Homo-oligomer: A and B are copies of this chain.
Amino acid sequence: MSKSKYNPNGEKVSIRDVARAAGVAIGTVSRVLHDNVSVSSNVRERVLDAIRQLKYEPNKIAQSMRLGVTHTVACVTRDISISGFGTIVNAAEDVLRSRGYTLLLAITDERKEREIEVVRVLTQHRVDGIIMTTSSEEDIELADMIRNLRIPVVLLDRDIPRELDAVTIDHRRGTAAATEYLLRLGHDNIALLTGRPSMRPARERIAGFEAAYAAVGRQPNPSQIRVGGFSADYGFREASALLSSSSRPTAFIAGGMSMLPGLLRAINSNGLKIPDDISVIAGADSDLALLMAPAVTAVRWSGSEEGRFAVELLLSRLEGHKGDPKRVMLDTELVIRGSCAPTTKRRK
């Protein structure tokens, strides 16, 4: 059979083997592979047959080498065991695949050294572009490294470096709406748990929080704004501390993707009941928020859109689009559920 004839050891079959089997030159094989017009249907058939016989798969490594593009895009992010991130990556993969790209994934654990190392390796792999979150927008070394990249980069929920495209979330409006809602329910001691202001999502949430207070002529108590990290553990620690402090908040805003679990743990272990003892708003929606009893009021946006837009921005650059940095900001919506109660109704 032709397989043993032209590819005796069952080894890797190359375009050369196909050419030999079809009795044509390799250039011709390449032509049929790329639907190039100038090839007779007779020859085309023979080549296609040989390809099937030999189970030939074009070598994209060699193509990349020759063409200077790899048709790969990397996504660099903190932790995809957080389902919000998974949703973004999922959506990104979907549109990338449908456009002929393959996704490389790198997890950074929000650590700068990892981010730098990982981007270096991706550069060596000659990915065509990168979609990423960074652990800090203030770090010069990080910013320089990204800026000096020779390939387009799209930021996820970051807006520095300014010269890059980015898709961001309107956390400011989301958090303002959440705060306003709590204020209207009579809460005047609201705690905001979020990450470090060196990251946009935290900055924006804080700004929204303060804006809502300002809109009613007040100011939040700075000690009720906790800005140490986006992790569930941080949420747990700070919530625990606040709950046992003398000025215990009557409401919490969990300003991060994985902060609600930590906050709930703290509330549970204090034996508090939502919403009777304490009101809660999640700064990101999740199954957990939706399915708790009572369900948790949440600031919602579409992670799928976030992923999709990021890819669109990137692909547009890869297709040669020049011009100023593009920013896409996604709306947020306050989904009111059962986790907040008016203060007047509160027992004690």
- Residues on B with C-beta less than 8 A from A97 are 106-107, 118, 121
- Residues on B with C-beta less than 8 A from A221 are none
Given A288-B291, A291-B265, A291-B288: A105 touches B104 (CB 8 Å cut-off): yes
Docked-complex contact B90 and A126, CB < 8 angstroms: no
Docked-complex contact A264 and B291, CB < 8 angstroms: yes
Which residue from B86, B104, B261 sits with its C-beta under 8 Å from A102?
A: B104
Q: How many residues on A have C-beta within 8 angstroms of the other chain's C-beta atoms?
A: 53
- Residues on B with C-beta less than 8 A from A107 are 90, 93-94, 97
Which residue from B12, B83, B261 sits with its C-beta under 8 Å from A150?
A: B12
- Complex CA gap A282/B171 in Å reads 33
Given A57-B123, A59-B124: A291 touches B261 (CB 8 Å cut-off): yes
Among A79, A81, A85, A105, chain B packs the most CB atoms within 10 A around the CB of A81
Given A125-B102, A291-B265: A65 touches B57 (CB 8 Å cut-off): no
Given A64-B61, A287-B288: A102 touches B121 (CB 8 Å cut-off): yes
Docked-complex contact A87 and B81, CB < 8 angstroms: yes
Docked-complex contact B126 and A61, CB < 8 angstroms: yes
- Residues on B with C-beta less than 8 A from A60 are 124-126
Query: A103 on the interface (CB 8 Å rule)?
Result: yes
- Complex CA gap A62/B66 in Å reads 10
Docked-complex contact A86 and B94, CB < 8 angstroms: no
Which residue from B105, B121, B148, B293 sits with its C-beta under 8 Å from A292?
A: B293
Given A61-B61, A80-B80, A82-B83: A105 touches B124 (CB 8 Å cut-off): no
Docked-complex contact B86 and A80, CB < 8 angstroms: yes
Query: A27 on the interface (CB 8 Å rule)?
Result: no
**Chain A residues near B (Cβ < 8 Å):** 12, 55, 57-62, 64-65, 68, 70, 72, 79-83, 85-87, 89-90, 93-94, 97, 102-107, 118, 120-126, 148, 150, 261, 264-265, 268, 287-288, 290-293, 303
Nearest 8 CB-CB pairings of A with B: A81-B86, A81-B87, A80-B86, A105-B105, A83-B83, A86-B86, A60-B124, A261-B287
Taking A80-B86, A90-B107, A102-B106 as known contacts, 10 extra A-B pairs with beta carbons closer than 8 A to each other, sorted by chain A number, are A55-B148, A60-B124, A61-B70, A83-B83, A102-B122, A103-B104, A103-B106, A105-B105, A261-B291, A288-B291
27 contacts between A and B (CB under 8 A): A12-B68, A55-B148, A57-B124, A58-B124, A60-B124, A61-B61, A61-B65, A65-B65, A72-B125, A79-B90, A80-B80, A80-B86, A80-B89, A80-B90, A81-B83, A81-B86, A83-B83, A85-B86, A89-B105, A90-B107, A97-B118, A102-B121, A103-B104, A104-B104, A261-B290, A264-B291, A287-B288
